[in-house]
Structure 1
Amino acid sequence: MKVVKLEDVIGTEQEVKGENWTSRRLLLKKDGMGYSVHDTIIKAGTETHIWYQNHLEAVYCIEGEGEVETVKDGKVWPIKANEIYALDEHDEHLLRAKTDMRMVCVFNPPITGKETHDENGVYPLVDDE
């Protein structure tokens, strides 16, 4: 069994910061679970272009308010605390935070922890072997 405390991840290489977000990566590929789990903060007033071409992601909002817009059809979904959205078709999307948002994100396949978004909002597949 494994227990990971958020406080033990903050300030380590498993806390990764982007312009609009901070991702605290709790479980990674190396943990052998078949998925990764992240505690992510999205900064208020930001818009982030994301397109996980290589990963599926489920996102559970535990704090804050914002919206997700799917690029292919322009559909907008309001998101607030206690709601989950699933990017089950590798959906290219825009995430807009009205307030600071705290999200629990689950990725399949799991990320290694080395990934950051490229110019298209994509996490590349990284082999950490």
Structure 2
Amino acid sequence: MIVRKLQEAEQTDRRVVSEGWESTRLLLKNDNMGFSFHITTIYEGANLNLHYQNHLESVYCISGEGSVMAEADGVVHEITPGTIYILDKNDKHVLKAKSEMKMACVFNPPLNGKEVHNAEGAYELQAEEVMDVK
């Protein structure tokens, strides 16, 4: 059994900070579950162009407000607490935060831990693993 506390993980190298967001990776590839699980904060005013070419992602909004738009159809979906969106086709999308948003995110295949978005808004498949695996 694996047990981790968000507040403790935030004090380790499981917390990754980048432009417009930060993510605490609670479950990673080296946990051998076949997916990774993160609590991600999207900062107020963030406007992120993302395209997870190598991963599928499900995102559940815990708090805050924003929107997501899939570039394929241009439809804007409002995000409020209790909303889930699923990027089941490696969807190129734009995520905007009206206020700070807390999101629970699941990635398949799982992340190693240190990933940040590349120039195309994707995570690379081969990335550095976190050092603190507690």
> Which TM-score applies when normalising by structure 2?
0.92
Match of 1:20 in 2: 20
What 5-or-longer segments of structure 1 have no aligned partner?
none
CA distance in 2, matches of 1:126, 1:114: 10
> Which TM-score applies when normalising by structure 1?
0.96
Q: Aligned AA for 1:123?
A: Y
Match of 2:119 in 1: 119
What 5-or-longer segments of structure 2 have no aligned partner?
130-134
CA distance in 1, matches of 2:118, 2:11: 23
Structure 1 runs of 4+ aligned residues shifted over 4 Å read none
Per-residue deviation, 1:83? 1.1
Per-residue deviation, 1:72? 2.0
Contact 2:113–2:127 (8 Å) recurs in 1 = no
Per-residue deviation, 1:7? 1.2
CA distance in 2, matches of 1:39, 1:83: 15
- 1:44-101 Cα distance to aligned partner (Å, 9 max, x none): 1110111100000000000011000111221111111011110000001000000100
CA distance in 2, matches of 1:111, 1:73: 28
CA distance in 1, matches of 2:81, 2:74: 23
Taking the TM superposition and a 5 Å limit, the aligned residue runs for 1:48-63 are 48-63=48-63
Q: Aligned AA for 2:114?
A: K
Per-residue deviation, 1:128? 6.2
Contact 1:114–1:126 (8 Å) recurs in 2 = no
Contact 1:64–1:81 (8 Å) recurs in 2 = yes
Aligned residues: 129
